[in-house]
Amino acid sequence: MRALLVEQFQLIDRVRLRFALEISVEAADALIKLAFRRDTTGDEAVIVESKALIREYLHRAVDA
């Protein structure tokens, strides 16, 4: 995923980016688990909020 982001958006592959991706993957994993605990088909509200949260976090991390 890191290589794709670096190539697609001409990002510098730096330690901060690697750290941000690691954090976002762990957060997304926890939130997806929550979505499926709340609803066996995946709670759509949790999934939508998860996407927004991860997108905003990565946006902030990449711009830093």
Closest residue by Cα to residue 18 from 63, 50, 62, 55: 62
pLDDT tens, residue by residue, 29-54:
999 999 999 999 999 999 999 999 99
Asked if 28 and 54 touch (Cβ cutoff 8 Å), the reply is yes
Per-residue pLDDT band at 57 (split at 50, 70, 90):
very high
Structure tokens at 60: 């902030």
pLDDT of residue 37: 98
Share of the chain above pLDDT 90, in %: 55
